[in-house]
Structure 1
Amino acid sequence: MGETERGVPARPATADREIVIPRVIDAPRELVFEAFTEVRHLSRWWGPEGFTTTTRAFEFRVGGEWSFVMRGPDGTDYQEWITWTEIVPPERIAMLHGEYRDDPNAFESILTFEPDGQATRIEMLTVFPTAELRDEAIEKHGAIEGGRQTLGNLAAYVAEIVRNVRTGAEG
């Protein structure tokens, strides 16, 4: 990010279309990254509280796709589709996320994983095609709280793996 003439950091051109959700997770970066790369992990934690995820297809590689259904606590099914656009283990994952392939309202998410001592600082940056779509995601779909809950579910899931490794239990 550059600076303006007065030395104030410049706002990115996409600021009015972004949601940024940070979280520190008490687990090593490699494990947190792995939780995003294998469907056996994703199906256990992906989504806000009360949601379940059923995968139809999954291929974790640039250009690969993840097709899945999220079922809400009220029984509503949400068709979801992701294609991976960048993968830099264990630092960064970028993806395009919509309801289906070529969805004109699909949004980009960039996940960064930074070591923070024995923990991992994860940041989920989501950029929507328009400010209106971002606002609708926040107001109608609770995108900020849903993102926080999703990262909370991830934190709980990897904490369970770490506990099981420490105690020798299977996870």
Structure 2
Amino acid sequence: MSDNVMVSSVENDRVLVLERVFDAPRDLVFRMFKESEHLKRWWGPKGWEIPVCTIDFRPGGVWHYSMKCVDQNQGQFYGMESWGKGVYKEIVEPETITYTDYFSDAEGNINESMPASQITMNFIDLGNKTKLVSRSEYVSAEALKTVMDMGMLQGITETWNRLDELLESLK
């Protein structure tokens, strides 16, 4: 397992930048983001599963998924379902994925009352390791604060920890 922890910073009060080095080649790390069979194994915080995950991995394509809390120890969250939708804008394999991330419902309708973000993920080749840099830009500081107050930073940290564990098992 990687000894690297995620580093986060905020730019301009509305851009969250996350960085982490994974102990795996860039092609493998990139593949974990483009194929539903891989995403189902690690996406989401600890105690959550992905019962639905469809991906049309191309510019203009859609990634639609459901996260469900299956950990009874998470109290009020147990049994909760959360839907998300990403619309890919640009893909440069195995270097960059840019997409708009939305909260949605089971039919893929966007939840306009929740903040959307423009996400650019850069996969930087470090030989047998990969540095992942994710920039999430929100329309306002308030929108970023909303997702931070929901526990997004803890959730993505747990999610990337799960990715790290999966990558370790695949080596």
Q: What interval of TM-score do these two structures reach, taking the shorter chain for normalisation? A: 0.7 to 0.9
1:22 aligns with 19
1:5 aligns with none
Structure 1 residue runs of 5 or longer lacking an equivalent are 1-11, 163-171
CA distance in 2, matches of 1:18, 1:124: 10
The TM-score normalised by the length of structure 1 is 0.81
Instruction: Please list, as runs of the form range in 1=range in 2, the aligned pairs for 1:22-101 lying within 5 A after superposition.
Output: 22-55=19-52, 57-72=54-69, 73=71, 74-100=78-104, 101=109
Q: Is the 8 A contact 2:87 2:100 kept in 1?
A: yes
Supply the RMSD in Å over aligned alpha carbons: 1.7
- The counterpart of 1:157, out of the listed 148, 166, 170, is 166
CA distance in 1, matches of 2:21, 2:86: 24
Corresponding pairs, count: 149
Pairing 1:124–2:128 present: no
CA distance in 2, matches of 1:56, 1:34: 15
Q: Is the 8 A contact 1:21 1:144 kept in 2?
A: no
1:120-140 Cα deviation digits (max 9, x unpaired): 00011111121101011111x
1:4 aligns with none
Which AA in structure 2 matches 1:98? Y
Q: Is the 8 A contact 1:21 1:148 kept in 2?
A: no
Which AA in structure 2 matches 1:62? P
Alpha-carbon distance, 1:58 to partner: 2.0
Which AA in structure 2 matches 1:149? E
Alpha-carbon distance, 1:102 to partner: 4.7
CA distance in 2, matches of 1:24, 1:147: 14
Structure 2 residue runs of 5 or longer lacking an equivalent are 1-9, 72-77
Structure of greater Rg = 1
Q: Is the 8 A contact 1:19 1:144 kept in 2?
A: no
Matched residue SS, 1:16: coil
Q: Is the 8 A contact 2:36 2:53 kept in 1?
A: no
Q: Is the 8 A contact 2:138 2:144 kept in 1?
A: yes
2:5 aligns with none
Q: Is the 8 A contact 2:85 2:102 kept in 1?
A: yes
